[in-house]
Amino acid sequence: MSTPQSQASLSALADRWLPKLVLSPTLLISLVFVYGFIAWTGWLSLTESRLLPQMDFAGLIQYQALFENDRWWTAVANLGIFGGLFIGCTLAVGLFLAVLLDQKIRSEGTLRTIYLYPMALSFIVTGTAWKWMLNPDMGLQKVINDWGFPDFTFDWLVDPDKAIYTVVIAGVWQSSGFVMALFLAGLRGIDDSIIKAAQVDGASLPVIYWRIIIPSLRPVFFSVLLILSHIAIKSFDLVMALTGGGPGTASDVPAIFMYQFAFTRGQLGLGAASAMMMLMTIVAVLVPLMYMETRSAKRG
Amino acid sequence: MKRKQLSAALLAATLLPATVFAGEVEVLHWWTSGGEAKSVAELKKMMTAKGDNWKDFAVAGGGGDNAMTALKTRVVSGNPPTAAQIKGPAIQEWGAEGVLANIDAVAKAEGWDKQLPPVVSQVMKYKGQYVAAPVNVHRVNWLWVNPEAFKKAGAKVPASWPEFFDAAEKLKKAGIQPIAHGGQPWQDATLFESVALGVGGPAYYKKAFVQLDQATLAGPTTLKVFETLQKVKGYIDKGAAGRDWNLATAMVINGKAGMQFMGDWAKGEFTAAGKKPGKDFLCVAAPGTAGSFTFNIDSLAMFKQKDAAAQKAQADLAETVMSKNFQEVFNLNKGSIPARLDTPMDKFDDCAKKSKADLTAASKSGGLVPSFAHKMAMPSATEGAMDDVISQFMNSSMSPKTATERLAKAGKVH
C-alpha cells in the first residue's frame, strides 16, 4: 500500500516532529518548575502571606517593608562587597594560575589536580574548615602566636567590619581552581601558529599573553563571569557555615535574609519580595552580558 | 491556572502515604539528640502499651526550622500529622489557620486547668479551648557558676547587678574570663532578656515584651537595660562571635570562664562532664531575677483528624503526654521540669527542684514571664526584628540610646 512517496513524507514528518516531541517533556517540566514557580513567588511577593501562602492581592506593601528594613540594606551592601571582590579576585587568581600552568612544565597533571580539588568540596565543608582556620582562639592567629609572635592578630572572622572579607577569602579559595581549569582549556584551544607568528615578529612572552592570548579568551571570560556572578548572588551555604551571617548581622547576604524571613519568621511575603529582588539583580547583570555576547558572536 | 497545577501536585503528594492504620499517631518533632531521643522512645513505649500505632516523624536540624517547613507542606496538602512540636504564640498562629484540633474533652476529664499554672495553660489554648499539651518547662533566666573559679578570684556569687559587676571585675583580675558567651543572635537575645528582667522586673518585662507597649519599649528602663548590657558586654571575650552555647558552657566547666547566662539545658552539659550540682557548679537565678521565672515550654499541638480512630489515638496521646509518669521520665532525660505541677520531684536534682519551687512561687507572685528569645512571647516577625537590634547592639558600637529607639521600632513589626 505504502508508496515510496508517502514513506518519504512520513519520515519528513517524523524528522520535523520527533525532536519537538522528545524535547517537550523537559520543556514542560522547566516551564512549570522554573518559570511557574518564579511566577508564583512573584505573586506571593504581592500578597500579605505570613505563615502559609495567601492569595489576596495586596499591592507593593512587601517591597515597601523590604526597602525600609535596615537589615536588607546591610545584606545588599555585603553582596556588593562580596560579589565584586569574589568575582574579581577569582578571575585574577584563576587566570594567573592558568597562565603559569600553561608554560609546559612537568608534573602539570598533578598540579592541576591540586588546584582543582577545592571545587570537589561543598561550600559547607569549605566554610567549616575556614571557620576553624580563621578562628582567633584556635586557628591561624593562635598558631602564629605560639610560634613566638604574640602580637600577631588576624581576627577578621569575629570583627563585624571585616567578617564579610573572610567569606571572600574562602570563596576565592574554593572557586579559583575551577576558573583556572576553564582558562587552561581556553588557552590550549588557541591556534599555535598565531603565537609562532608573533614570536617570529619578536614579541616577548608577556606581550604575547597580554595582546594576543588573553583577548582571544573572550568567550571563556563570558562563561566564567556567568558562573561566578550567579554563585555570588545565591551564596548561602558558604556564609551560613563560615559566619552564620554574623557577628550579629554583619555578614548577612540576601539569600540568608530570604531564607530567614520566609521560613523562620513567618513573613513569607517579605521573603518572596527579597527573592524577586535577587532574581532582578541576576537579570540586570546577565541580560546585558548575554546581549553583548550574542551580538559579538553574530559579528564574529 | 498556577493554583490548579499546584493543587494537583499537592493532591498527588497526599495520595502517596494513603495507608493509614486505625489508631495511628504520627508526631512531628525535632527531639533527636541523645537525651531527647530517649524521651521520645519512652513516649512511643507508652503509646504502644495503649494499643496505638506509633509512627515517628522526626525532622532533625535547624532548631526546628526544617521541621516547620515539612509541617507546612503536610498541612497545605491536607494531610497533617496527629501532633507537632509547636510552641508559644506559634500555636495561636496555627490556630488562626484553622487546622488545630480541640482537645478540651481530654483536658476537662483530666483536670488540666488545675494542674497547670494559668500562664502556661493560656499558651496551650486557642480561643479558650485546649489545642496543645505541654511536655516540659525550661527556665531560661539561670546563671551558671563555676564555684572554684569564684574561690580563686575571691568573689561572691552575685544576686544583684552591683554584686555581679563586682564579681566580674574580681574574676577578670584573677585572669579568668568573667562571662562565657556565644555571640549568636538567639544567645544574645537570651542574655538580653535576663538583663531586662533583672533590671526592669517582671511588670516592665510583661509590658515591654508581651504587650509590646511602645511607651515602655522606648522608655528610660529600656535605656537602662541597654546600658547594663553594654557593661556586661565588656566582660565577654572577642572570640565569642559565632560560638555555640555548649562550647561556652564548656568554658565554665573547665574553669576558663566564671559564669554563663543560659537556660537549664546547659545542665545537661555539666552532668555529661560528670559534674555535680551544688558542688562542681552552681545554678543561681540571673542577677535581680530571684523571684521571677522566664519560661520556655515545649508542647505538642494537635492537628484536626478526619478519621474517628485517629481522633481516639490523638486523645490517647494528649492524655499520655500530660500523665505524671511521662512528665517525670521525659524531663529527667531532658533536663527541664514537668509542666504538671503535681508531678513528684524526688528523682530530680537540686537545680530542677529549685526550678520547680521558683516556678510555683513565681506563678503566684506574678513573676512568671514568657521567654521571648525562645519564641514564647511575641509573633515570630516581631521577635526576629528585636533579635536583629539586640545582636547588632552586641556586635557594634551602637549607643544604648540608638538601640532603645530601634528596639521600639522593632516592636511595631507584626
pLDDT of residue A299: 59
B238 touches chain A (CB under 8 A): yes
**Minimal CA separation from A231 to chain B, in Å:** 23
A contact test, residue of B4, B99, B387, B388 with most A CBs within 10 A: B388
Angle between helices B380-394 and B89-96 (to 10 degrees): 140
Quote the CA–CA distance of B136 and B27 in Å, as a whole number: 16
Could you tell me the sign of the dihedral formed by the alpha carbons of B389, B394, B400, B402, in that order?
negative
Quote the CA–CA distance of B179 and B143 in Å, as a whole number: 10
Other C-beta atoms lying within 10 Å of the C-beta of residue A232: 24
Are the Cβ atoms of A248 and B238 closer than 8 angstroms?
Answer: no
CB A178 within 8 A of CB A116: yes
Say which DSSP state B58 is in. E
H/E element, B65? helix B65-76
| Nearest Cβ partner for B65 among A136, A247, A264 | A264
B369: nearest Cα among B377, B379, B380: B377
Measured between beta carbons, the chain A residues lying within 8 angstroms of B93 are 50-51, 266
Percent of the residues in chain A that have a pLDDT greater than 70, as a whole number: 97
| Nearest Cβ partner for B241 among A246, A264, A265 | A246
Residue numbers of A between 136 and 175 with CB closer than 8 Å to B: 136-137, 155, 157-158, 160, 163
B396 touches chain A (CB under 8 A): yes
A82 burial via Cβ count (<10 Å: 0-12, 13-18, 19+): buried
Cβ neighbors of A150 (< 8 A, separation 6 or more) are none
pLDDT in tens, A177-188: 999 999 999 998
CB B152 within 8 A of CB B171: no
Name residue B73's beta-bridge partners.
none
Name the residue with cell 516540659.
Answer: B136
| Nearest Cβ partner for A52 among B97, B188, B240 | B97
pLDDT of residue A80: 92
B412: nearest Cα among A253, A55, A68: A68
CB A266 within 8 A of CB B93: yes
| Nearest Cβ partner for B381 among A70, A263, A267 | A267
Are the Cβ atoms of B392 and A248 closer than 8 angstroms?
Answer: yes
Are the Cβ atoms of B68 and A249 closer than 8 angstroms?
Answer: no
Q: Residue A242 half-sphere exposure, CB side, CA atoms within 13 Å?
A: 29
Name the residue with cell 498562629.
Answer: B93
Measured between beta carbons, the chain A residues lying within 8 angstroms of B379 are 266
The three three-digit cell numbers of residue B27, written as one number: 508526631
Quote the CA–CA distance of B291 and B248 in Å, as a whole number: 26
What is the total residue count of chain A? 300
A215 touches chain B (CB under 8 A): no
Measured between beta carbons, the chain B residues lying within 8 angstroms of A131 are 242
B330 touches chain A (CB under 8 A): no
Low-confidence stretches of chain B (pLDDT < 50) are 1-2, 10-21
Quote the CA–CA distance of B343 and B361 in Å, as a whole number: 16
H/E element, A146? helix A140-146
pLDDT of residue A4: 63
Say which DSSP state B179 is in. E
B239 touches chain A (CB under 8 A): yes
| Amino acid found at A130 | W
Measured between beta carbons, the chain A residues lying within 8 angstroms of B380 are 264-266
What is the total residue count of chain B? 414
pLDDT of residue A93: 94
* Main-chain phi, psi angles of A106, to 5 degrees: -70, 180
Q: Given the DSSP bridges, would you call strands B129-130 and B257-261 parallel, antiparallel or unpaired? A: unpaired
Quote the CA–CA distance of A120 and A178 in Å, as a whole number: 9
Are the Cβ atoms of B391 and A246 closer than 8 angstroms?
Answer: yes
Q: Residue B48 half-sphere exposure, CB side, CA atoms within 13 Å?
A: 9
Are the Cβ atoms of B381 and A52 closer than 8 angstroms?
Answer: no
CB A44 within 8 A of CB A269: yes
Name the residue with cell 488545675.
Answer: B114
Quote the CA–CA distance of A220 and A10 in Å, as a whole number: 43
**3 state SS of B250:** helix
A contact test, residue of B2, B245, B409 with most A CBs within 10 A: B2
pTM of the full predicted structure?
0.83
B413: nearest Cα among B222, B220, B212, B187: B212
pLDDT of residue B200: 93
CB A242 within 8 A of CB A124: no
Are the Cβ atoms of A266 and B240 closer than 8 angstroms?
Answer: no
B403: nearest Cα among B414, B412, B390: B390
**Minimal CA separation from B278 to chain A, in Å:** 30
Name residue B283's beta-bridge partners.
B144
**Minimal CA separation from B158 to chain A, in Å:** 28
pLDDT in tens, B183-216: 888 999 999 999 999 999 999 999 999 999 999 9
Quote the CA–CA distance of A14 and A222 in Å, as a whole number: 37
CB B171 within 8 A of CB B178: yes
CB A69 within 8 A of CB A261: no
pLDDT of residue B68: 83
Instruction: Determine what percent of chain B falls in helix, strand and coil, rounding each to the nearest 5.
Output: 55, 15, 30
Phi-psi category of residue B281: left, alpha or beta, with phi > 0 → left and psi -120 to 50 → alpha: beta
Quote the CA–CA distance of B250 and B17 in Å, as a whole number: 44
Measured between beta carbons, the chain A residues lying within 8 angstroms of B90 are 266
Cβ pairs bridging A and B (under 8 Å): 89
Are the Cβ atoms of B242 and A51 closer than 8 angstroms?
Answer: no
Which has more confidence, A55 or A100? Answer: A100
Q: Given the DSSP bridges, would you call strands B142-145 and B53-58 parallel, antiparallel or unpaired? A: unpaired
CB A83 within 8 A of CB A233: yes
A267: nearest Cα among A36, A74, A58: A58
Are the Cβ atoms of B384 and A265 closer than 8 angstroms?
Answer: yes
**Minimal CA separation from A41 to chain B, in Å:** 11
- Average pLDDT of every residue of chain A: 87
The three three-digit cell numbers of residue A66, written as one number: 523590604
Residue numbers of A between 15 and 34 with CB closer than 8 Å to B: 32
Quote the CA–CA distance of B410 and B414 in Å, as a whole number: 9
Are the Cβ atoms of A246 and B183 closer than 8 angstroms?
Answer: yes
**3 state SS of B53:** strand
**Minimal CA separation from B185 to chain A, in Å:** 6
Confidence tier at A75 by pLDDT (50, 70, 90) = very high
B229: nearest Cα among B217, B221, B238: B221
**Minimal CA separation from B72 to chain A, in Å:** 7
B254 touches chain A (CB under 8 A): no
Terminal alpha carbon distance of chain B: 31
Are the Cβ atoms of A131 and B242 closer than 8 angstroms?
Answer: yes
Which has more confidence, B294 or A195? Answer: B294
Are the Cβ atoms of B188 and A248 closer than 8 angstroms?
Answer: yes
CB B367 within 8 A of CB A254: no
B184 touches chain A (CB under 8 A): yes
Quote the CA–CA distance of B247 and B254 in Å, as a whole number: 11
Quote the CA–CA distance of B317 and A236 in Å, as a whole number: 39
The three three-digit cell numbers of residue B261, written as one number: 547566662
The three three-digit cell numbers of residue B284, written as one number: 543561681
Measured between beta carbons, the chain A residues lying within 8 angstroms of B383 are 265
Quote the CA–CA distance of B92 and B360 in Å, as a whole number: 25
Q: In what order do the strands lie in the sheet with B138-139?
A: B138-139, B293-296, B368-370
Residue numbers of A between 241 and 300 with CB closer than 8 Å to B: 243-244, 246-250, 260-261, 263-267
Quote the CA–CA distance of B191 and B195 in Å, as a whole number: 6
Measured between beta carbons, the chain B residues lying within 8 angstroms of A163 are 241
Quote the CA–CA distance of B29 and B85 in Å, as a whole number: 5
Other C-beta atoms lying within 10 Å of the C-beta of residue B81: 20
Residue of B nearest to A269 (CA): B381
| Nearest Cβ partner for A247 among B3, B75, B395 | B395
Name the residue with cell 610560634.
Answer: A147
**Minimal CA separation from B188 to chain A, in Å:** 9
